[in-house]
Amino acid sequence: MRFVSIIAAGALALAAAAPASAQTYVAGEVKASVGAADLAAVVGSLGHQVIEEDDGEGGGGNEGSEVMILAESPDQIRYVLLGTACDVAGVPGCQGVLMQAQFDLPPGTTYETVADANLNFAALNIWVDFEQKSLGFTRYVVLDQGVTMANLRANVEVLLSLIGDAYPVAAGEADAGQQPSV
């Protein structure tokens, strides 16, 4: 499972790879919107590494710019936390978080294997792009009315924990019925 960068080259300001643990993480803090520092704090609380960071200010002066954290787990799974619905309806920050891991397309992947994986791993949205030769796993969290930082962390943990079981099914390497229950 080799990671495919989902970020266009040169589109993001690169931050030096540094442990995210330096960010402040307060499990019970309720967030109705997040910024790059919040997402980096979630990554740090997991003991993962921030590889790239974009605070959405990219110099273009665009209101509503998304924020992004590219991180890597100790298992060497790279994933993106992307703040969405940013600076809308008078609310500063991003009111949604897309969590995604993307891999090179395994040869056994078909629309049928992806559909089987989606049926058996409902906590994930599993998708395939045959043209770009990639297989992806996504979760989305809406922050309307607020969620705790612990909830955001738990959602990242769910994404990463289910990939190990869902990947072989989506890749056509195993039947969902053969997978251990989570």
Instruction: Taking the CA atoms of 163, 25, 98 and 47 in sequence, report the sign of the dihedral they define.
Output: negative
Helices then strands, each counted (H, E), the chain = 3, 9
For the chain, what is the domain count?
1
Instruction: Taking the CA atoms of 100, 101, 107 and 113 in sequence, report the sign of the dihedral they define.
Output: negative
Q: Which domain holds residue 77?
A: 18-174
Report which DSSP code applies to 34.
Answer: B
Hey, is 168 helix, strand or coil? helix
Residue 151: inside a domain: yes
Comparing C-alpha atoms, which of 150, 126, 122, 143 is closest to residue 67? 143
Residue 156: inside a domain: yes
Instruction: Read off the CATH number of the domain in which 142 is found.
Output: 3.30.1460.10
Residue 67: inside a domain: yes
Give the global pTM: 0.81
Residue 2: inside a domain: no
Quick check: 162 and 178 in contact, CB under 8 A? no
pLDDT of residue 15: 37
- Residue that has been written with the tokens 């770009």 in this structure: 132
Residue 4: inside a domain: no
pLDDT of residue 7: 37
Residue 119: inside a domain: yes
Residue 133: inside a domain: yes
Residue 51: inside a domain: yes
| d(C-alpha 140, C-alpha 100), whole Å | 9
The tens-digit pLDDT sequence of the chain (182 residues) is 544 443 323 333 333 344 444 468 999 999 999 999 999 999 999 999 999 999 877 544 445 568 999 999 999 999 999 999 999 989 999 999 999 999 999 999 999 999 999 999 999 999 999 999 999 999 999 999 999 999 999 999 999 999 999 999 999 998 765 544 43
| d(C-alpha 142, C-alpha 149), whole Å | 13
Quick check: 135 and 166 in contact, CB under 8 A? no
| d(C-alpha 119, C-alpha 97), whole Å | 23
Quick check: 118 and 82 in contact, CB under 8 A? no
Hey, is 143 helix, strand or coil? coil
pLDDT of residue 155: 98
